[in-house]
Each structure stands twice: as structure tokens, then as C-alpha cells.
Amino acid sequence: MSLASKFKEAMVGLKAGRVTLDYPAHPRPVAGNFRGRPVFDAQKCIGCAGCANNCPAREILVFDVCQEIRILKYLGRRCTYCGRCADVCPEKAITMSHEFETATNKIADVQQTLDLFMSTCQRCGRCFKESSPLEQLKLKGYRFDDLNNERWIFRSRAYLESEPVVDDIKIELD
């Protein structure tokens, strides 16, 4: 009785075969709708910072060096791969790749930094005005996120240092 049941169990085990993945040697393709690490395309990016404003984890930092140069830094540490940045991007510069093998011994390895040139009006040298007041609300003006400490800074007086980095911030804050 007991021997027969053991034999039956062994037969069941033999019939099922081997199910274990031979993972690092033979990877299995991921599902088509899998969202992995976002990949930023600097050629398409216009630097609107929509991704930075919509990131739930505040992972994308924007730093305006001057009027023409904007640094967009994706940290990738606490990214939940929600795909909202790719959704909101007007130029489709962000694609959610299928890449998930991001294990590393230095967390800075998952960073992506884009150094972008921003276009301004060729006449006055200022930024373009938005078409409606509602769209102006979404603008954050100049952004001075803390790239060294990797911290997102809100556009309010409370979070900024007493002396502004660039004099233009006085206009933007009022």
C-alpha cells in the first residue's frame, strides 16, 4: 500500500518532468506588455519636464544651469516602472524597455543624465508663453533640483535657500 503510493508519487513526479528554469544561462523572453526600465532618448527630448512633474516617486530631477541648458537626471533607484513618464511625454522620448536585469553593486549605475539645450525666443531670448493660463499653471519656471543630494525641490520659497542660484528666480517665484 505504502510502496504503491510511493511508486505512484514517483510516476507523477516523472510525468511532470523538469520545470526549473535554467535562468542565467538560458533566459526566458518576457511578456510583451512587461514594463522594465525607462529609456530616455535625448534626441527626441525637448526638456519640458513633464515627466519630472508627474513622477510619483520624484525620480526625475531637472536643473537649469542657465536659460539654454537644462539637465534632466533620472535616478532610477525607487522607480516603480509605472510608465507615467512615458505616458505624459509629448515627444515619446521615453520608452519603457523590457530590461529588468538591473542588479548592480553601485546604485549610480542605473542613472541616466541628459544635458539638453533649450530653445528660447530668438528675438527676446525668453521662454515661450503658454497658450492659456491653465497651461501656465503647469509650468514650474526654472527648476533647481538638488542634483548633488538627489532631492526634488518644490517651487516655493519654503524649500529654497535664501540666496538664489540665478537672479532670474526672483521673477519666477512671484
Partner 1 sequence: MLKNLCQKMFGRSLWVYHANSGGCNGCDIEVLNVLTPYYDVERFGIKLVGSPRHADVMLCQGPATRATARALRNAYEAMPTPKLVFAIGGCACGGGIWHDTYAVLGPVEKVIPVNFYIPGCPPRPEAIIYGVAVAVGLVDKKVAPVEFKLLEMPVPRYHPADLRGRDEMVVYAKAEKL
* Site residues for partner 1 per CB under 8 A: 19-21, 23-24, 27-28, 30, 40, 42, 56-59, 68, 75-81, 99-117, 119, 122-123, 125
Q: 3 or 158, CB closer to partner 1?
A: 158
Which letter, b or e, does each residue of 16-41 get, where b requires 16 or more Cβ atoms within 10 Å of its Cβ? eeeeeeeeeeeeeeeeeeebebbebe
Looking at the Cβ atoms of 27 and 136, the one nearer to partner 1 is: 27
Minimum CB separation of residue 134 from partner 1 in Å reads 27
CB contact at 8 A, 63 and 71? yes
Pairing of strands 112-117, 69-74: antiparallel
State the nearest-atom distance from the C-beta of 102 to partner 1, in Å. 5
Shortest Cβ distance from residue 135 to partner 1 (Å)? 23
Under the phi-then-psi rule, with left for phi > 0, alpha for psi from -120 to 50, and beta for the rest, what region is 62?
A: beta
CB of 149 to partner 1, least distance (A): 11
